[in-house]
Structure 1
Amino acid sequence: MTDFLGYKNKRVVVSGCFSGMGEATAKLLLAQGAEVHGLDYKECKLPLASFTNVDLRDPASIDAAVQKVGGKVDALFNCAGLPQTFPALDVMKVNFAGTRHLTEKMLPLMGEGSAIASISSNGGLGWSRRVPDLMKALGQQGFEAFMTYCEGNPEFVREGYSTSKELIIVWTMLLSQSLIKKGIRINCTLPGPTQTPMMAHFESATKASVLEAAAQPINRRSTPDEQAGPLAFLNSSAASYVNGVCFYVDGGFMGGLATGQIDMRSLMGG
């Protein structure tokens, strides 16, 4: 049981490894003995097997990064993201269109027993009320077609962040059905408020009362390390029967919401 997660000598890729949850995930995987290849818009200083600069807003940049990584990939961690303070279409590109494109390009490098974990958010909890719209958007195959759809449907995109996280959730569940037939698993996490460099952006765009409500019942923000552990578990051999799961990593927030102990109105500042 000394290598419970089974990452020793596994070849893994982490996008968004510069800071926050992605950096914490890369550190944890390095400590577990994995061969870690990092991707980010900003250079990462961790002792990775390789680092590649990538712009998830640009499919050509993604293609070049995947080509550089090459070889067999045992696990992909989609940790890159933008907050809602950036232009909505840029948020959609990075948080979903680029993430999906990266995953699709990585899949030929992945075989039976490999796994994918992406970071969604509790900000995407409204997905169940928007399934028809989300499925229509997901039907737009390819980066350019998807972004053309977004440009023509600003009411669907909204501020970009919540829609992109809803898409990650539904895409994960949708793709899990076909990938598992190839022996590849895909899951995602739904973090609650987490103290990363990105949090300053959320604080500038969100009422303090809403952020406080989202941290119930534990009444504190998580650390990046507390988000890295669940991500590492989902892509590990220990989770070999876990597929298509949206894993709440929120200190019990969803449990409180589902049982009526947390008032949904508090999330709207009411």
Structure 2
Amino acid sequence: MSDFLGYAGKRVVVSGCFSGMGHATAKLLLDLGAEVHGLDFKACDLPLASFTQIDLRDPASIEAAAAAIEGPVDALFNCAGLPTSFPPMDIMKVNFIGLRHLTEQLLPKMRAGSAIANIASTGGLGWSRRIPDNMAFVTTQGWDAATAWCEQNAQTVAEGYAFSKENVIVWTQFMGARLIKQGIRINCTLPSPTETPMMKTFHEASGKDVVDAAAEPMGRYSTPEEQAGGLVLLNSALASIVNGVVLPVDGGFMGALATGQIDMSKLMGKRQG
């Protein structure tokens, strides 16, 4: 197979490699010849170059895991995440604060031409309606300031999931304009409902009808392998000028929503991606 995606021999890091989209992403990268270093709370069964246990709720754990990975890092895939069954502060730490902290720890090991891909969610589509809150939060400096902001704005954080994903989206766009000056790209995906171990929790939290409505117009849930394809494409050599993009990987949901072809009455709950 020709290396048109440019991953052969590249050192890549995948958080959340134990299951779901992260596992599928790590497997695809291995198939493409990358040197894959995995991070997760639970051990991964893939033949990785290295695996390091990490707790994204703990800055010391994040810093130790990042230090264990030798540079350079050519691509980072932030795939770890928690659903709404966890406490709001844990969700905020794993889905955004920890994601940001891990990225900041690895950035010194990333050179021009490297790239970052984050997983957001259709559950974060409310970002455009509260940019002042999002920008105030994503521009906090450091772990302690971010956690303090959440504690002081508990009503805005709410259950944690939607706000965490909004901030993945906003931070990706914000950092896109900054990191590109170093030749580093950053993008994120908006997955449609995907058959991962989290799906049961999403059904319980939002209702199966709401989740099913977010799977239209395709009429089925995506697979982790399909979501991995979007992530791997974003960090590939083919996407060398794609930066600061929020990419729907959703079988047409966003297009159908924008053109009035989604039943909004079924989407009044919290959408989960």
Instruction: After superposing the two structures, state which structure 1 stretch, 165-174 or 134-143, moved more.
Output: 134-143
- The equivalent of 2:16 in structure 1 is 16
Give the 3-state SS of the residue equivalent to 2:247 in structure 1: strand
Query: Per-residue deviation at 1:153?
Result: 0.8
State the secondary structure of the residue aligned to 2:117: strand
Distance 1:143 1:36 in 2: 27
Report deviation, 1:200.
1.3
Q: 2:3 and 2:71 mapped to 1: Cα distance?
A: 24
Residue 180 of structure 1 aligns to a residue in which SS?
Answer: helix
- Residue 264 of structure 1: CA displacement? 2.6
Question: Are residue 257 (structure 1) and residue 253 (structure 2) matched?
Answer: no
Q: In the alignment, does 2:74 pair up with 1:74?
A: yes
Question: CA offsets, 1:212-255, max 9 Å, x none?
Answer: 11010001000000000010000000100100000001111110
Measured in 1, the distance between the counterparts of 2:174 and 2:66 equals: 23
User: 1 CA distance for matches of 2:251 and 2:122?
Assistant: 11
Offset of 1:209 from its aligned partner?
Answer: 1.1
Structure 2: 5+ residue stretches without partners: none
Contact 2:192 2:250 in 1 (8 A): yes
Matched-pair identity in %: 66
Q: Does the 8 A contact of 2:11 with 2:36 survive in 1?
A: yes
SS in 2 for 1:170: helix
Give the CA deviation at 1:70: 2.1
> Contact conserved, 2:13 with 2:77, CA < 8 A, in 1?
yes
**Residues 77-103 of structure 1, C-alpha deviation per residue, up to 9 Å, x if partnerless?**
000000011000000000000000000
- Show the counterpart of 1:131: 131
Q: Which residue of 2 aligns with 1:35?
A: 35
Aligned position for 2:56: 56
Report how many residues are paired: 269
Could you say what the CA RMSD is over the residues aligned between the two structures, in angstroms?
A: 0.9
TM-score under structure 2 normalisation? 0.97
| TM-score, normalised by the number of residues in structure 1 | 0.98
Paired AA for residue 227 in structure 1: Q
Q: Tell me if 1:245 matches 2:218.
A: no
Spell out, residue by residue over 1:182-207, the C-alpha distance to the aligned partner (whole angstroms, 9 max, x if none).
Answer: 00000000001000011111112111
Task: Name the counterpart of 1:111.
Answer: 111
